[in-house]
Amino acid sequence: MSLGAWLRDRPVWLERAYRATSALFVRLHPLIRRLGYVRSERLILPVEELGKRILFDCRMCGQCILHSTGMTCPMTCPKNLRNGPCGGVRANGHCEVLPEMRCVWVEAFERSLRMETYGREIILIQPPVDRRLEGSSAWINMLTGSDRHPPPGWISASAVLVRDHADL
């Protein structure tokens, strides 16, 4: 088992690290704005990509909702589903497309029950993914708000993060 998979089965630690990192980014926002988002992204992107790839098998969608999905990347679902499983989950909890793999959403739900802060966000309905943000930094997109242009009425998971840290 990889380090990332081992940690994902202990989501509280990842959740705490995620919360601390998002708080840090919100604190650093004035500095990042002064530096410029484009220049800052050049520095942040390689670190974000490497870290998230190791920990979450991240696909760099640019709109991170990990904390709302049991610290399990929804983009690792072969169908890229961001709102729960499809109708094809096998009786043993495995994927319809890749029978040797457990369903990403079965794992996400199980892990969300073991989280201490964001576990209940698994019930949030996520807006459609914006493919234009693929390959960009989700942290920078959270700060600029470019990951929050969903259709009217949708709640963005990163909007919840920003709201939670508004008093910092």
Whole-angstrom distance, CA of residue 97 vs CA of residue 69? 20
Shortest Å, Cβ 138 to ligand SF4: 4
Among 14, 26, 58, 115, binds ligand SF4 (CB under 6 A): 58
Tokens for 74, please give them. Answer: 């929804």
Contact stretch for ligand SF4 (CB under 6 A) within 2-10, 36-44, 68-76, 119-127: 68-76
Contact stretch for ligand SF4 (CB under 6 A) within 7-15, 70-78, 83-91, 142-150: 70-78
- Buried b or exposed e, range 39-48, using 16+ CB within 10 angstroms: ebbeebbeeb
Residue 127's nearest CA partner among 147, 109, 143 is 147
Whole-angstrom distance, CA of residue 25 vs CA of residue 21? 6
Length of the chain: 168
Contact stretch for ligand SF4 (CB under 6 A) within 3-11, 55-63, 102-110, 118-126: 55-63
Among 17, 28, 35, 60, binds ligand SF4 (CB under 6 A): 60
Q: Is residue 56 part of the contact set for ligand SF4 (CB under 6 A)?
A: yes
Nearer to ligand SF4, 29 or 72 (CB): 72
Binding mask 104-123 for ligand SF4 (x = CB under 6 A): --------------------
Among 14, 26, 32, 66, binds ligand SF4 (CB under 6 A): 66
Residue 141's nearest CA partner among 57, 37, 56, 8 is 37
* Residue 108 neighbours by CB under 8 Å, 6+ apart: 69, 70, 72, 74, 122
Contact residues for ligand SF4 (CB under 6 A)? 52, 56, 58-61, 64-66, 73-75, 138
